[in-house]
Structure 1
């Protein structure tokens, strides 16, 4: 671990809507940083839930794993509160536009994009499949990766909805995530943590 950098976590509840269906969901909120600055990974349902984790720290960026509404819904409102840029892979514009018609994000993410906060670096890994612009954030100093809805405890994220593809997500996981050390902790978009090694075994890779 680098300095006093840490991973803080909370859960926020709300809805997920796509393809004419709406479901209740619990989303993980992940905040990475030290006592003075941080980045927020995903902006699901409630600005106040997120700010409760942030505290009085400066938010350097709002990093979106993808643009399904349960991951980006309050991103513009959080940007207003924190004056932090929203970062999203541009391939997810088709999903972003379903939720936000009057706002755009600020910075395009791409594979290999890096941002440093609290002395540790997060590296973006483009992992399409669950969404075309899905991105995971690897923090090697912390021994973890934030996978959004790309990889869960038990396997890949869902691919039964618009703009998703099962073969693509499995290829993304094998190429980008299973290349990480087996002991890497996987912090997911919903539910419990797992490890790269456990999921590599479950996927037979």
Structure 2
């Protein structure tokens, strides 16, 4: 799986473009904003996306979804239905985060733990990882050993749990059960900041070792 990163919004959120190297099938993951920047990058790469995938429904991860869906005539898929209240509250989120107003929307399809999403010959495994938000999911591609984790896990840190329906204990359990059970060499693509690996976070992440939190 090829992964291209497009930092968007003042929150420097990592919108990802994932590509099946065999078929060039393409998906956009977490388009948080700046749709024109995402479109320009896709044009530069010569790629046409077939879907939008969402890890969770915070505005800085979904803000350009509707515009890109309409531009490319593609479906929005995910996250888990536990985040429906966040999508319905997008106008409130816009005020909360100081973004231009965003209208509420719902995806074409919700995702559940154990689902698989096909992007060309890629079969992304969906793992439900609540805690940062109740409907957060991650996408694991086992052949290339890469996982897109949204705001569940970061290099040396974990996702915030002080937003509505966040749960710190649940987040740690999700990381332990759904991420730290992956091979150590798996590359972790986080929603903000640089990449890391499962092994590095298992060995050093202070929030999971008990040193913090």
Q: TM-score range by the shorter chain?
A: 0.7 to 0.9
User: Would you say the 8 A contact 1:115–1:121 is kept in 2?
Assistant: yes
Residue 50 of structure 1: CA displacement?
1.6
CA distance in 2 between counterparts of 1:168 and 1:57 reads 37
Q: Which residue of 1 aligns with 2:83?
A: 92
Q: Distance in 1 between matches of 2:4 and 2:103?
A: 31
Which 4+ residue blocks in structure 1 deviate beyond 3 angstroms? none
Does residue 13 in structure 1 map to residue 9 in structure 2?
A: yes
1:131 positional shift: 0.3
What is the CA–CA distance in structure 1 between the aligned matches of 2:33 and 2:120, rounded to whole Å?
26
Q: Any residues of structure 2 matched to 1:41-80 within 5 Å, and which?
A: 41-55=29-43, 56-80=46-70
Secondary structure, aligned partner of 1:141: coil
2:29 corresponds to 1:29: no
Specify the SS of the correspondent of 1:108: coil
1:136 & 1:117 partners in 2: Cα distance? 15
Does the alignment pair 1:204 with 2:193? no
- TM-aligned CA distance change 1:82 to 1:154, over 3 Å: same
SS of the counterpart of 2:166?
Answer: coil
1:59 is paired with a residue of what secondary structure? coil
Once residues 54 and 97 of structure 1 are traced to their aligned partners in structure 2, the CA distance between those partners, rounded to angstroms, is 29
For residues 28 and 81 of structure 1, the distance between their equivalents in structure 2, rounded to whole angstroms, comes to: 20
The 3-state SS of whatever aligns with 1:142 is coil
- How many residue pairs get matched? 191
Q: How does 1:118-137 map to 2 (within 5 A)?
A: 118-137=120-139
Cα 1:198/1:119, change in 2 over 3 Å: same
> Counterparts in 2 of 1:50-199, with a 5 A limit?
50-55=38-43, 56-88=46-78, 89-99=80-90, 101-199=103-201
For the residue of structure 1 that corresponds to 2:105, the secondary structure is: coil
Structure-1 separation of matches of 2:74 and 2:165: 28
What SS does structure 1 have at the residue aligned with 2:83?
Answer: helix
> Unpaired segments of 5 or more residues in structure 2?
91-101
Q: What is the rounded CA distance, in whole Å, between the counterparts of 1:32 and 1:77 in structure 2?
A: 19
Measured after TM superposition, the shift of residue 54 of structure 1 is 2.4
Task: Work out whether residues 9 and 53 of structure 1, in 8 Å CA contact, stay in contact via their aligned partners in 2.
Answer: no
Post-superposition offset of 1:8 = 1.1
